[in-house]
Structure 1
Amino acid sequence: MIEAHGISVTIGSRPVLHGETVRCTPGKMTALVGPSGCGKTTLLHCLGLLLPIDRGSMSINGKNVTGYNTAERRRFWRDYAAFVLQDYGIMDEESVAFNVTLQASLFGRRVTGDLERMRQALAKTGLKGRENELAGRLSGGEKQRLALARAIYKDASILFVDEPTASLDPANRRKVIDLFADFAKQGRTVIISTHDAEMIDACDRKHRVGLDNSATDMPKSDQTNQGGS
């Protein structure tokens, strides 16, 4: 559970967020929506503790995290969070397998970690059998799925996603949306900054950045096999 209460952020001399209040619950996908420049990505980064806030408060599972220092934020990223950002966070010059486990033997001669769990994560994201390929050879949609495979391997409880379908064709868009939905159904919290109508329709809740003060449930007609809040 991630909750932000009245948070505001100024970058340089420009106010970006103005008293945003949002509640993101486990087992659901929350969409951060609004026009370009409204602060969707900034709010996502604040919720993921990537960006400090100027005013307001934040809590995770009821614990106040507003004043977390660098070490505390790093522990949160290490133990609970995974990120799928617009640049995918993929290392093109490394193998698919390494991009999932982020572990290698001395001098990087072979990938280490739980290799069976790595293969299972790739299978779940449609990348079975491609662990030895260079990640740079993957398409944009495949890199999105590889970033999600990393989150599955990590067993992250909170997933932060920024514009995941911006450059995807319709087939890959549907695959990525379904993967995020499945991730949420396992009891994880999924928070997505997006302007994609199909992605928004797949989410359980939406928060209009800059226009309202809470995340609201999507109409039941827009939900797929999801319960209400």
Structure 2
Amino acid sequence: MLIEAQGISVAIGGGIVLDDESLRCKTGIMTALVGASGSGKTTLLHCLGLLLPVDKGSILIDGNDVTRYSAAARRRFWRDHAAFVLQDYGIMDEESVAFNVTMQASFIGKRVSGNKERLKQSLEQTGLKNRGNELAGHLSGGEKQRLALSRAIYKDANILFVDEPTASLDATNRRMVIELLADFTARGRTVIVSTHDSEMIAACGAIHQIGSSNSSH
């Protein structure tokens, strides 16, 4: 899916965070949102993912203006098309690894439900094979990041929004996360990454510098 921002501006607390930003994030290309700390990378990512409204400009998905989507329409977009990997991982520590992937459980006995084969494959791809029954709280930071990616792989979302995926990771986990994102992109998905990591940026096919209103390929 093609995600576009056309001249969007956002002010928070009286200060301008984004000023007339425009970019195109194409299918099958991983796009890096880059800029100095505090430049608005995460804000732009949240606007593109319809998590944050814009004050001016438009957000388009496959040419359709979604800027003023209703709350119900945004929920449908998140449910049917989008997956998010945010800085806090969005992991429920008190639940099992498997539940954190499928987000489904039976009412009786709280057994994890969902597509067992897809669950197995998503855990294998992220290096978490045979760890489905463990509590997510027992995982390291890098493993939680991979668990969040496992959830996105399981969902098979069209668009993946990722915020600083390699921050605070060791070299092994950093490489694994970058490879997972590249593989996800190669399957014809749209991947948008907010990052300051030069290794992550190098793996992206397009780079948008905050404040420049253009992307390089």
The TM-score, its normalising length taken from structure 2, stands at 0.98
1:47 aligns to 2:48 (yes or no): yes
Cα pair distance change 1:107/1:51, threshold 3 Å: farther
Structure 1 partner of 2:147: 146
* Distance apart, 1:105 and its partner CA: 1.0
For 1:92, give the aligned amino acid.
D
Same amino acid, percent of matched pairs: 69
For 1:136, give the aligned amino acid.
G
* Distance apart, 1:62 and its partner CA: 1.1
1:90-144 CA-partner distances (Å, limit 9, x unpaired)? 0000000000000011166210111111111101111111100000111111111
* Distance apart, 1:73 and its partner CA: 0.4
Find the aligned partners of 2:188 and 2:215 in 1 and give their Cα distance. 18
For 2:202, give the aligned amino acid.
D
Find the aligned partners of 2:85 and 2:57 in 1 and give their Cα distance. 26
Q: Which runs of 4+ in 1 moved over 2 A?
A: none
Find the aligned partners of 1:125 and 1:104 in 2 and give their Cα distance. 21
CA RMSD of aligned residues (A): 0.8
The TM-score, its normalising length taken from structure 1, stands at 0.93
Give 3-state SS (helix, strand or coil) of 1:56's partner. Answer: strand
Q: Identify unmatched segments of 5+ residues in structure 1.
A: 218-229
* Distance apart, 1:51 and its partner CA: 0.1
Find the aligned partners of 1:108 and 1:25 in 2 and give their Cα distance. 43
1:165 aligns to 2:141 (yes or no): no
Residues paired across the two proteins, number: 216
Find the aligned partners of 1:88 and 1:107 in 2 and give their Cα distance. 28
Within-5 A mapping of 1:29-40: 29-40=30-41
Give 3-state SS (helix, strand or coil) of 1:206's partner. Answer: strand
Structure 2 partner of 1:221: none
Q: Identify unmatched segments of 5+ residues in structure 2.
A: none
* Distance apart, 1:214 and its partner CA: 1.5
Within-5 A mapping of 1:46-125: 46-106=47-107, 109-125=110-126
